[in-house]
Structure 1
């Protein structure tokens, strides 16, 4: 490795934190810039009703190898920080759903046993699921030409009930894009690395702590301990070349003017495009369409619990049922006893109701689905919507690479070219790859 370089990482979301840790591990002096006062980007902690919660409920997978490796690097005990559950798609009794839980057996036996034991599915449903899985494996989870998830499911004769109870909620949860306009190839990639891999890869991992504490804050501590610096509440407004180095224009007038040997832009795509405007890499980042995600928190009296840490819900716009998954936060963190988090992916229509009406509709849905009438009256509720939560993961979507025409300036983020949709794992993988590109540049 050549002499240590000064590197600026712009954006302390999960991609930026991953890049910063990788660069600091290589011996570089990293300065991590974050415009917010809180680290984590679109997966961070917020204060609600005196509690530190997340700006959205997240779920990770055992297949998230880069994220789990990063947690080890920064000293986080994943087995303590995450609740590991076997792959499951479980609906409460009031949803006319299914109950599918994979046992802790070697793959693919765990899927076969789960399918045989599953309740709420007919023989035709089970045959359709087995046929899809077998064919996808035979095809090595690859399509010659990308198409929509809906087209893929129709091609392999998936039943209406199986689509409603399994494929549609999985697609929306993984890609945050409706099946009729979601990429079948990206969906297959997710299934390949979870359902089609070793059993542990299909496990579902629920954070026991807030997302900022889980990774970004620990990553910042790691960087700071290795001759790095963290600047929060400091917006990078411009990035300009200066004698083979980079100068950053900062919103914080008191910040010392520095020149950096390399830059990682790990901001949302729109911000990154703005920072690259006027440079040779101006056209590197395309315009994306975006999808919102809404999380509704509902606080009930202590002792109000679900029979499992989370359940799937059947959403139905005509009935005013917007929730797709409900999480019992008290089973993850004892200080959040009685707190439920309900996720509404692709929530454009739902948020048009307004926060008060939406939270009331979700409370009614929970009361009916869980057969608990008392859930219609929470002690308080809070709706949080990220209108640009993810890009719309359409078939054949062209996404930029980490590498730009500027050899010592790279980008990172969940929108960068990847096998995955906009997930925490794709953000971390991108951050690691961006850092590796800079390391290679300095080694040359």
Structure 2
């Protein structure tokens, strides 16, 4: 059975690998020159970085399994560390190497800059959420959820709101509380201690999955067509035509804003959130005490130590920073951070539609379409999560497994 996968991001790669492993003749179409979509490596002035920063957790089980499947060893490619939330005010919450849920309880009770009463109230609140299976009574924003729970103190400012923005790329005032609860369920609320670990890449994002998956696909007979933008999908009597070439089945694994042009009945009307990454070089080389630090009170929300004296400042969601050009933005961040000896080198990467806005009541389409031979994959179709790499991978696997199961039952060809 010949199958087309349109889009070489993490969802498309997951689908292509799953289908190829099941024996399908897979053709992967990618409009860009490299695989990876919105999570890929880029070369900047002879050095390898990323087109944006992504926080990965031990809870990304399907992503880690897919990496292993294509020969990318997570133990070598990640620096795995227990979760720490540190910011520029002196706040620090660090999870120890203890079994869950003791690791979270100890981390909460030992957090600096928070009174004991607030810690105990938060522990009781978290226990109540867990007993309710992280299911909320109705759609609400994270800010409203925290207000109702009495979470108005230091932990809200230093922990919940930063984690919400990091996970949903949408500020607490507009973010879906249920989606945030789902993220907490599979991380801080997990029964597996390893799920709370931070996975800090030792390499660029391309080397984590896109490049190994591309090599694996080619080695197993799949076709990869880079720099090939699909312009038309049509139904045929025996399949799906991709720009006139017929396939038995197809998966659209593009970003949601491109789906409607290919299959109008699957159009998604989303608002989007931007992300900017500002890479900054320092001499002498600077090294953070912990590779990931939260920043309060300025444009930058997170600083990531990329090694060799380069720091990546991450600006998530809409804000005044969007009005600044690259030079002004780099200068503003230098003033905010106040770190000594920046060199003249910097690079700003902006993703204007980095993620969909994870707001309450957001419509998430079914991965099945009006045509039984055409499926959707992408983080926006994985309704349990906001826009995450794990959601993208799971969506790709789901679409591929549905096709394989249908083919086994009906011998669709």
TM range (shorter): over 0.9
Paired position in structure 2 for 1:324: 301
User: Which of 236, 244, 260 lines up with 2:247 in the alignment?
Assistant: 260
Counterparts of 1:43-122 in structure 2, within 5 Å, are 43-91=39-87, 95-122=88-115
Deviations 1:96-154 (A, max 9, x none): 24111000100111112112221121223312321321121121110121210011101
Paired position in structure 1 for 2:218: 224
- RMSD over aligned Cα, in angstroms? 1.3
User: Which of 385, 397, 413 lines up with 1:432 in the alignment?
Assistant: 397
Using a 3 Å threshold, how does the CA distance of structure 1 residues 302 and 29 change in structure 2: closer, same or farther? farther
Asked if 2 retains the 8 angstrom alpha-carbon contact of 1:104 and 1:110, the reply is: yes
> Whole-Å Cα distance in 2 between the matches of residues 206 and 189 of structure 1?
22
Asked if 2 retains the 8 angstrom alpha-carbon contact of 1:59 and 1:207, the reply is: no
Paired position in structure 2 for 1:253: none
Tell me the CA shift for residue 302 of structure 1.
5.1
Paired position in structure 2 for 1:334: none
- Note the residue ranges of structure 2 that are not aligned, 5 or more in a row: none
> Whole-Å Cα distance in 2 between the matches of residues 151 and 131 of structure 1?
18
Asked if 2 retains the 8 angstrom alpha-carbon contact of 1:324 and 1:345, the reply is: yes
Paired position in structure 2 for 1:254: none
Tell me the CA shift for residue 309 of structure 1.
1.4
User: Which of 385, 407, 410 lines up with 1:420 in the alignment?
Assistant: 385
Q: Which moved more, 1:195-204 or 1:117-126?
A: 117-126
Counterparts of 1:355-370 in structure 2, within 5 Å, are 355-367=326-338
> Whole-Å Cα distance in 2 between the matches of residues 274 and 237 of structure 1?
8
Paired position in structure 2 for 1:293: 275
> Whole-Å Cα distance in 2 between the matches of residues 302 and 266 of structure 1?
44
> Whole-Å Cα distance in 1 between the matches of residues 219 and 277 of structure 2?
35
> Whole-Å Cα distance in 2 between the matches of residues 196 and 227 of structure 1?
41
> Whole-Å Cα distance in 1 between the matches of residues 152 and 375 of structure 2?
45
Asked if 1 retains the 8 angstrom alpha-carbon contact of 2:382 and 2:392, the reply is: no
Determine if the alignment matches structure 1 residue 32 to structure 2 residue 14: no
Instruction: Count residues in correspondence.
Output: 408
Q: Which moved more, 1:239-248 or 1:30-39?
A: 239-248
> Whole-Å Cα distance in 1 between the matches of residues 138 and 23 of structure 2?
43
Paired position in structure 1 for 2:172: 179
Paired position in structure 1 for 2:194: 200
Paired position in structure 2 for 1:386: 351
> Whole-Å Cα distance in 1 between the matches of residues 222 and 115 of structure 2?
58
TM-score by length of 1: 0.89
Using a 3 Å threshold, how does the CA distance of structure 1 residues 307 and 417 change in structure 2: closer, same or farther? closer
Deviations 1:407-433 (A, max 9, x none): 111010111142110000010000000
Tell me the CA shift for residue 269 of structure 1.
1.1
- Note the residue ranges of structure 1 that are not aligned, 5 or more in a row: 250-256, 331-336
Determine if the alignment matches structure 1 residue 126 to structure 2 residue 93: no
Tell me the CA shift for residue 294 of structure 1.
0.9
> Whole-Å Cα distance in 1 between the matches of residues 90 and 371 of structure 2?
52
User: Which of 117, 131, 145 lines up with 1:152 in the alignment?
Assistant: 145
Asked if 2 retains the 8 angstrom alpha-carbon contact of 1:294 and 1:347, the reply is: no
Secondary structure, counterpart of 1:236 in structure 2: coil
> Whole-Å Cα distance in 1 between the matches of residues 8 and 67 of structure 2?
16
TM-score by length of 2: 0.96
> Whole-Å Cα distance in 1 between the matches of residues 269 and 176 of structure 2?
17
> Whole-Å Cα distance in 2 between the matches of residues 302 and 19 of structure 1?
45
Paired position in structure 2 for 1:13: 9
Deviations 1:2-23 (A, max 9, x none): xxx1011100000000000000
